[in-house]
Amino acid sequence: MPGMKRALFLMLGGVQFRNIGGPNFDKTQWASEKELEQLQNRLLQRLITHAYSNVPFWRRTMRERGLTPEDIKNTKDLEKLPMVDKEMMRDNPQFIAKNSWRYFPHRIYSGGSTGRAFGYLITPLVTYCGREYMERGFSWAGWERKDRIATLTGGGLGVGDLMLDCVSMSDKVMGGYVKRIREGNISFYRGVPTALATFAEYVKKEGLDMKKKAVFTTSEMLFPTHRKLINEVLGTCFDGYGASDGGSSAYECDRHQGWHIAKDRFILELTKGEELVPVGDEGIVTCTDLYNYAMPFIRYRSNDLAVASDMLCECGRSLPLLSRIKGRTTDVIRTDSTVFNGTELANHILGLELPMVAFQIVQKSRDELRINVHKKEQWGSEHEKMIMDAILRYDPALVIEFEYVEKIAKTPAGKSRYVVGS
C-alpha cells in the first residue's frame, strides 16, 4: 500500500479503534491476567453481538444451536460455537457482515503454504492494530520510532525504511544490499528467516561486519540453525508470529523465553479435532480476532501448530507464553546463480492473479524447474509467459517447463506445498 493511502488507512483505523473502546496497548502489556481477561470478554461480547446481528453464517449457526449473544460471555463460552477454516470462508459471502461497508473494508490475499490464495476482508482497524502490535513487539528489542529498519521481503511485509527484495538473492544482488544498508543508517533488520539466513551466510562468507541492534524475524518458522546463524552475523533475533486472517500476534521479549501471546488483540485456543488441548500439548492455532468487524474471524483454524506454556516470563508481563510455534516453512531453490525463496517466489506468482486454481513449483535440477498448473478455462499461452518472465527475470539461464494437472499433489504428510525441492 503506498505511503499516503496507508497513512489515511491508519488514521481511519485509529478512529474506529476509539469507537469500539480499544485499550492502550502500551498499558495492557503490563496488565494483570485478570484485567486482560476482562478486556477480552468485553471485546468478545461486542464482536459476537455484531456477528449475530450482521453476519449470516454466525446468525444461522447460533440460532440452530439455540444461542443468543448473551450465551457467549467469555472465552470458555466460545466452545459453544463451531470452528471454521479457510476452506469454509473462501469466497463465501455468508461470512461477510451485511454492514461491512461501515468499516471501510478492503480485500487482501494471503498466500500461506497451500498453493491457493485466500482472499478475505480487512479494515483500517485491523491494519491499525497489526501496526500497533508490531511496534510494541519492536520496542521489546529496544526499537524507537527514529530507528531505521532494513526489510528483506518478497513484498508481503509492507513495513521498513529500506525494502530489499528477497525473491531471488544472488551474491551480486546481496553485494548491492550491503552497500545500501551501510549507506542507509540502518539499526535493525526485519524479514523472513530464510532470506535473512541466506544474507547472513553471504555476509559471513565475505567476512563483513553487518551486525545491527536486533533482527525481527517473521512470517515463517524460525529454525534453531537459522536463529544461531542470524544471531551470530546480523544481530539477536526477536521472533514474531502473526497473521491478519485471525488477528494472531505473538512476540518474543528480550528474555527469549517464548512468544508472548497478544491477549489484547485476539483469543487463542489450541485445538485438536473439536477439543482444546491441555497446556504443554501441541494444538492447532485457532483464533478469534477481536477487531475485524467486516469479516469476523471467530474460532478460525489456521495452518499452524503451537504449544502453550504455563510459565510466567521473567520480564513481568502477564501476556502468556507459547513455548513453540510450528508455522509456515519455506523451501529454498538453489540454482547455479541464485537462491530463490520458495514462498516469496510463489507469492510473487500468485500476485499475477492468473486464471488458475492452484500451482506448484518443482525443482528438477540446479537449472531446471517444472511448474505444475491446475488451470482454469481462461488459461492461455500468455499466462505461461507471464510466469516464465517472473522467474527468468531473476535467473535467465533457467529452463522452465509446464505441466497441466487436474490436481496438485500433496506431500506424504498430506500438506499442499508451493515449492518442492529436488
Positions touching Zn ion (CB under 5 A) are 253, 255, 313, 315
DSSP string, 201-243: HHHHHHT-----SEEEE-SS---HHHHHHHHHHT--EEEEEE-
CB-wise, 154 or 320, nearer to Zn ion? 320
Minimum distance of Zn ion from residue 309's CB (angstroms): 11
- Compute the least distance from the CB of residue 265 to Zn ion, in Å: 16
Do residues 258 and 311 make contact, with C-beta atoms less than 8 angstroms apart? yes
Rounded Cα–Cα distance for residues 332 and 341 (Å): 5
Residues contacting residue 4 through CB under 8 Å, at least 6 positions apart: none
Closer to Zn ion by CB, 48 or 307: give it.
307
Nearer to Zn ion, 315 or 392 (CB): 315
Nearest to Zn ion of 29, 302 (CB atom)? 29
* Beta carbon of residue 123, minimum distance to Zn ion (angstroms, whole number): 30
Rounded to the nearest 10 degrees, the angle between the axes of helix 193-206 and helix 224-233 is 50
CA–CA distance, 249 with 138 (Å, rounded to integer): 13
Cell of 313: 516470563
CA distances from 279 to 85, 140, 179, 221, 307 (A): 23, 25, 47, 21, 7
Q: Which is nearer to Zn ion, 186 or 322 (CB)?
A: 322
Residue written as cell 525443482? 363
Would you say 239 or 331 has its CB closer to Zn ion? Answer: 239
242, β-bridge pairs = 249
Nearest CB to Zn ion, comparing residues 164 and 325 = 325
Which is closer to Zn ion, CB of 171 or CB of 254?
Answer: 254
Give the shortest CB-313-to-Zn ion separation in angstroms.
3
DSSP H helices in 234-321: none
CB of 259 to Zn ion, least distance (A): 9
To Zn ion, the closest distance from the beta carbon of 33 in angstroms equals: 14
Residue of 238, 231, 184 whose CA lies nearest to 211:
231
Q: Shortest distance, CB of residue 318 to Zn ion, whole angstroms?
A: 10
CB of 387 to Zn ion, least distance (A): 44
Q: Is the dihedral of CA 132, 135, 139, 141 positive or negative?
A: positive
